Structures are given as C-alpha cells and as structure tokens.
C-alpha cells in the first residue's frame, strides 16, 4: 500500500470505518473513497458490481454492516442475517472480479462459543454454539469469515484478511441506548441521567459478566499493519487488549468520568449474555502490534467526544 493506492472505506461514517478514514487522511493517503448507506447500498449486488468496475480499487476496508446490542439482535434477527450476508458476499465477489489486492473484513468475537475456554484462541471457532441472543449476527459474521478463507483457497492467494476485534469503542460509535453496545450505551445513559438530574440509573443484568474493550484507533493500527504485510501465517486473527473488566466496574468508571453521582441499580430479570469474552491476541502481538490506548484513557477521550458532539 502506498500513498497513491486507491482505497475504499465501506462504512465510513461508522465507528471502525471513520477511524480508518482519519488515519489514512492523517498519513497523507491521496486516493480515498468513502461510502456509507446514503451513497451506496451494499446489499444491492448490481450497484456494488457497477461501483467496483467503475473505480477499480487496490484495497478495500469493509467496515459496513448491521450492528447493534441485545435488544435489536433479539427483535430483528432476519435483518441481521440478510443485511450482513448481502453486504459481505457482494463486496467479496466484486473485489474478486476487479482484482482488488487486499480486503480487510471485520468479524466479531460473538462468533465464539458461549462456553469457550478463556482467553479464546482462533482455533476455537465452530467448536460450540454462540450465545443465543446474538446468534443471527454471529452466524452472518462466521459466514463472512469462512467466505474470506474460501476465496483465498480458491484464488490461491491471500487477498481476504478476516480480523476479529473484541468490543470496539471510540468516536462515531452508536450512542443510542436502545441499539448501542454496552460501553457507548452506558456513556449515553449516565450523561442523560446527569443532564436531567436523575437520582438513579437501572442497568440490565447482574453486572458481574466480564468484557474486553479495545479502542477503535488501536484496531485501525492493527488492520493497516496487517494489510501491508506480504503474507500472514494463518487466518483469522484476533485483535484484543488481553485484559477484561466486569460491567459493574465499567459502569462505575464511566459514571465517574461523566460526573453522575446517583445510585446504580441492576435489573436481574434482564439477560447478561456470555459470562466472559476475552480474546487470545498472541498471533497479532507476534507480528509486532500492541494496543496503545488504556481503557481509562479511551473512556475519557470517548466521553469528551460524546459531550462535544451530543446534539
């Protein structure tokens, strides 16, 4: 990859896509094309094929997809299957037909079995059932990951690079409490509670489950490092920090950062999800990548970004 390479960022207004756009622009890449749902429907095969034929990209960052929290996953499982499968397969096939050099695909840690040993190595994929509340999304992402491997096998070259980041957060995340993932949802909930002088906030589940969070800028550093390597030993590759935190502890950190002084209650009638989802990121660390942004610093900068962009 060089500064003149033609690079497509799909999902450029979302969390991971926007982070890649910021990084490429900062590094002086001159030939970026960014798309979102407003200017290209990636579920439309004909439109995707025409778009790729017109532009002839060198590299593709596929950060587009339907993503949300537990409520959305339980309510609209068919939408998660259809949209993600369509986006992935249309992009992969168009990339193959137009000889794209490398495609980065972002899978998800929810693909791993609910009861997988911790930390989870890439070899544990398909060794058990994913957590049921997100199974449609998990199956769509599994299909995307194994499609990458199938294309590489059939084409006899490593074009498609499937990566598995753990729970990502940062600027341009989804902060809608009804559809967001836990960290960004907590920021919005506590900010709203403080703004409206509420005395308490009630959160789902027990708060005892543990999650690993990684700042989106660290994910971006990892993906750009890997896309520039000539050949990777074995795919897919996990991207995580190697440490996790209880949701109760996370809530306290975020409440303190936002300045919410009220009481936090836990609704035990609501689901927790998998007890733990910690990735084994040995592979990528062996390539010389390490995360640079601590959880405390990442939360602080994300809260500041949210407060500045609230409206």
Residues known to be catalytic = 137
Local structure of 103: helix, strand or coil? strand
- The helix (run of H) or strand (run of E) holding residue 217 is helix 216-227
The residue written with tokens 């936090």 in the block is 264
CB atoms within 10 A of CB 129: 11
Q: For the chain, give the longest Cα–Cα distance.
A: 61
The answer to whether residues 136 and 150 touch, using CB atoms and an 8 Å cutoff, is: no
> Among 174, 172, 194, 196, which Cα is nearest to 184's?
174
CB atoms closer than 10 angstroms to residue 268: 10
Which one-letter DSSP state was computed for residue 129?
A: P
Per the document, the length of the chain is: 311
Paired residues of 32 in beta bridges? 7
Cβ count near 271 (within 10 Å): 14
Rounded Cα distance between 216 and 166, Å, is 10
Angle at 176 (CA atoms; ends 311, 119), nearest 5 degrees = 130
Angle, nearest 10°, between helix axes 247-258 and 295-308?
Answer: 50
Query: Which residue matches tokens 């778009």?
Result: 51
Q: 244 vs 2, 155, 196, CA distance in Å?
A: 36, 38, 31
Q: What does the alpha-carbon distance between residue 144 and residue 139 come to, in Å, rounded to a whole number?
A: 9
């Amino acid at each position: 990859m060089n500064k003149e390479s033609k690079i497509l960022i799909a999902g450029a207004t979302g969390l991971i896509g926007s982070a890649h756009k910021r990084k490429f622009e900062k590094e002086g890449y001159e030939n970026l094309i960014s798309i979102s749902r407003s200017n290209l429907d990636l579920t439309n095969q004909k439109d995707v094929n025409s778009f790729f034929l017109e532009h002839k990209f060198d590299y593709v960052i596929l950060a587009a997809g339907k993503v949300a929290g537990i409520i959305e996953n339980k309510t609209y499982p068919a939408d998660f299957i259809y949209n993600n499968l369509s986006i992935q397969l249309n992009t992969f096939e168009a990339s193959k037909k137009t000889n794209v050099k490398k495609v980065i695909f972002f899978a998800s840690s929810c693909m791993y079995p609910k009861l997988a040993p911790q930390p989870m190595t890439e070899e544990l994929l398909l060794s058990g059932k994913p957590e049921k509340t997100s199974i449609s999304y998990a199956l769509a992402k599994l299909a995307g990951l194994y499609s990458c491997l199938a294309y590489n096998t059939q084409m006899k070259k490593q074009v498609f690079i499937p990566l598995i980041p753990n729970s990502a957060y940062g600027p341009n995340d989804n902060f809608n409490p009804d559809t967001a993932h836990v960290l960004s949802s907590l920021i919005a909930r506590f900010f709203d509670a403080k703004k409206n002088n509420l005395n308490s906030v009630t959160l789902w589940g027990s708060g005892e489950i543990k999650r690993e969070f990684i700042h989106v800028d660290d994910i971006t550093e990892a993906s750009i490092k890997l896309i520039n390597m000539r050949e990777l030993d074995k795919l897919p590759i996990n991207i995580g920090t190697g440490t996790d935190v209880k949701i109760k502890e996370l809530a306290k950190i975020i409440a303190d950062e936002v300045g919410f002084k009220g009481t936090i209650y836990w609704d035990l009638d609501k689901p927790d999800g998998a007890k733990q989802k910690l990735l084994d990121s040995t592979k990528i660390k062996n390539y010389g990548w390490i995360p640079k942004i601590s959880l405390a610093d990442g939360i602080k900068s994300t809260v500041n970004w949210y407060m500045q962009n609230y409206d």
